[in-house]
Structure 1
Amino acid sequence: MVGSSWAFLLALLVVAAWLITGPLFHYSDTWQLLINTGTTIVTFLMVFLIQNAQNREAQCTQLKLDELIRAIHGARTRLVNMEDLSDADLQKLKEEFNRIGRATGQKPLPPE
């Protein structure tokens, strides 16, 4: 919902209302503190909403990739749980894929 055009419009209206009330409150420190506090709170909460959305998206992508690996005959299904491997094991896989790539004339994967 917070990514919708309605949420943007609501935020725009809140800022417009705040700006319009500036002369009424003589552009006081309290008037400025109101918008600063509000935006800080919203930003703080949005960090958690965005992280949750990214976690869900990453999990869905991972599940889709897992399904593709399982569906392809001859695919190495041990790669399905690749995210659980250690950094050393991931590096070994990367080197293996680089060897395979070089054998087929492809460029190696870039270093991290």
Structure 2
Amino acid sequence: MFGWAASGPLFHFSDTWQLVINTSTTIVSFLMVFLIHDAQNRDTAAMQIKLDEIIRAIDTAHNALLDFDQLDQKELAEFRKHYERLAKEARSDLRLSSSGAKILNRVEH
């Protein structure tokens, strides 16, 4: 970068001189997209393995959820509805208890 800037007067700041840096930065940016994408894929895969291990290790967890990421959108929506119902029931149960009502009031307001 500094070499390119320093060589400007030598090339009289020509169009070719500008094209060199523009092309170089475009190529570097293009390659960085692939590097970032690869890093994100590895991070996601590692996180999925960790979550799978947590599910496997907890006795009350459903091991059927281990390949959850392989389900299609319709199946995921069905599971989402199931867990939303469970959450709604849990909040209802919590409202019935006096300590739960206090907690929910703090969370909701």
Decide: shared fold, TM above 0.5.
yes
d(CA) in 2 for partners of 1:74, 1:104: 16
* Structure 1 segments of 4+ aligned residues over 2 angstroms from their partners: none
Q: CA deviation at 1:21?
A: 1.3
Letter in 1 for 2:40: Q
- 1:60-94, CA deviations, whole angstroms, 9 ceiling, x for partnerless residues? 00000000000001100111100111111100111
Q: CA deviation at 1:28?
A: 0.3
Identity value in percent: 48
**1:27 partnered with 2:13:** yes
| Structural mapping, 1:31-42, within 5 Å | 31-42=17-28
d(CA) in 2 for partners of 1:23, 1:72: 67
Instruction: Work out the number of aligned pairs and report it.
Output: 92
Residue in 2 that maps onto 1:59: 45
TM-score by length of 1: 0.78
d(CA) in 2 for partners of 1:28, 1:57: 44
Question: Structure 2 unaligned runs (5+)?
Answer: 93-109
Question: Comparing both structures, which one devotes a greater share of its residues to helix?
Answer: 2
RMSD over aligned CA atoms reads 1.2
Question: Structure 1 unaligned runs (5+)?
Answer: 1-14, 107-112
Letter in 1 for 2:43: E
d(CA) in 1 for partners of 2:72, 2:6: 56
